[in-house]
Amino acid sequence: MSEINLNKAAIALDFGGTNIKIGLIRQGKVLNQTLLPAHSGAGIIPRLPDVQAAVMDLLEQEGLALGNCSGVGIGLPGLVDPQHLSLLSINEKYADAVGFAFGAWVEEAFGLPIVMENDARAALLGETVYGTAHGESNAVLMIFGTGIGTAALMNGKIIRGRHFQAGILGGHFVTDVNGSRCSCGGVGCLEAEASHWSLQGWLKNQQGYANSLLAIESNIGYRQVIDASQSGDMLALSAMQHLYKHWSSGIVNLVHAYDPDVVILSGGLMKAKDIVLPELVRRVHEQAWTPWGKVRFIVAENPDSSVLLGLSHLIEEGIDIDYV
Ligand SMILES: [Zn+2]
């Protein structure tokens, strides 16, 4: 790591299921960021020309050129092999990204070094290195996007595992053995029960849906349910109880698995943290077996940039960062 590199900006690309977030970051500060629709069902390759153009636009807005950049970081919601720069497996989204030569694309499009990581793992790095969880060494993260991403940090080391899947499959912890079939092939996964993507299907199967405020919404996600619950809508209120039950079970599982001091929460849902956090914390504290005390909760200050910050750190440090 040279001093020159620290003065250079990192280009971070966060390929989410709904949006692609693109940021320029220097020393933990987001210089500028933008958003593209992901259309992730149609694959990643058709989106790459737009991503490249958006990066060049951001650079121009900041008066920077590619020569002022240290590298490109790519975050994906799947199993990523950071050493071989490849996506090993992904669930439904970006199917064509598995095995895609990201290194060759970055070389051709930008002529810069590349790092890759699972998005939630990058978010955990971002929040513990630069964000509100700065300095924490034992942490788990849950990020509520289209799906539910998780990651774990133990004794200062990011947990990655032999097959790169340790810590990141918390969205597929089973929270109801009699639950719904999940898109991963499992049954009753946290994502199948209480994620942004599964919520609409769950609501439509409930009695009272036709009489709910939510029946007139064309696209139902967390925000619509929270808003309707605030208006006293009966179905939305019962949906919130359902969500709290599953989210808290998922977090308790993470606490039992990885023994953290803190639980870091990020993602779009945390824009409603004033509404959801108190009940979520209450349930986790009630259910978690932690005789040493109570896990603390930390919410990302800017949930839209957690992944981008972590990717920039990986570019600055290289992939030799301490993993287990
Ligand atoms: Zn699953």
| For range 24-35, the mean pLDDT | 96
Domain total of the chain: 2
Find tokens 């942004």 and name the residue.
Answer: 196
**What is the Cα–Cα distance from 126 to 119, expressed in whole angstroms?**
10
Distance 175 CA to ligand 1 centre (A): 10
> First CA to last CA across the chain, in angstroms?
22
pLDDT, tens digit, 9 for 90 and up, residues 266-320: 999 999 999 999 999 999 999 999 999 999 999 999 888 999 999 999 999 875 5
The reply to whether 187 and 231 lie within a common domain is: yes
Q: What is the pLDDT of residue 6?
A: 61
Q: Is the pLDDT of residue 324 over 80?
A: no
> What residues flank ion ligand 1 with Cβ within 5 A?
172, 182, 184, 186, 189
Residue 51 binned pLDDT confidence (cut-offs 50, 70, 90): very high
Q: What is the pLDDT of residue 93?
A: 86
* DSSP structural state of residue 249: H
pLDDT, tens digit, 9 for 90 and up, residues 63-79: 999 999 999 999 999 99
Q: What is the pLDDT of residue 219?
A: 87
The reply to whether 176 and 258 lie within a common domain is: yes
Q: What is the pLDDT of residue 217?
A: 86
Is 195 buried (19+), middle (13-18) or exposed (0-12) by CB count in 10 A?
buried
Distance 31 CA to ligand 1 centre (A): 36
The reply to whether 8 and 114 lie within a common domain is: yes
Distance 227 CA to ligand 1 centre (A): 27
The reply to whether 215 and 176 lie within a common domain is: yes
Structural domain contains residue 159: yes
- Judge contact between 51 and 13, C-beta under 8 A: yes
Residue 1 binned pLDDT confidence (cut-offs 50, 70, 90): very low
Distance 184 CA to ligand 1 centre (A): 4
CATH number at residue 294: 3.30.420.40
The reply to whether 9 and 85 lie within a common domain is: yes
Q: What is the pLDDT of residue 322?
A: 64
The reply to whether 295 and 310 lie within a common domain is: no
The reply to whether 151 and 110 lie within a common domain is: no
Q: By residue range, what is the domain housing residue 161? A: 132-299
The reply to whether 148 and 98 lie within a common domain is: no
Average model confidence (pLDDT) for the chain? 94
Distance 185 CA to ligand 1 centre (A): 6
Distance 92 CA to ligand 1 centre (A): 11
Residue 321 binned pLDDT confidence (cut-offs 50, 70, 90): low
Distance 36 CA to ligand 1 centre (A): 26
| For range 83-96, the mean pLDDT | 90
Q: What is the pLDDT of residue 295?
A: 98
Distance 270 CA to ligand 1 centre (A): 22
**What is the Cα–Cα distance from 140 to 112, expressed in whole angstroms?**
31
Residue 218 binned pLDDT confidence (cut-offs 50, 70, 90): confident
Distance 106 CA to ligand 1 centre (A): 31
| For range 142-164, the mean pLDDT | 94
Q: Is the pLDDT of residue 202 over 80?
A: yes
Distance 89 CA to ligand 1 centre (A): 13
Distance 183 CA to ligand 1 centre (A): 6
Structural domain contains residue 284: yes
Distance 49 CA to ligand 1 centre (A): 31
The reply to whether 214 and 80 lie within a common domain is: no
How much of the chain exceeds pLDDT 90, in percent?
Answer: 88
Distance 293 CA to ligand 1 centre (A): 31
Beta strands in the chain (DSSP E): 9-15, 19-26, 29-37, 69-76, 78-81, 86-90, 114-118, 139-144, 148-154, 157-158, 262-267, 296-299
Q: Is the pLDDT of residue 4 over 70?
A: no
Q: What is the pLDDT of residue 91?
A: 84
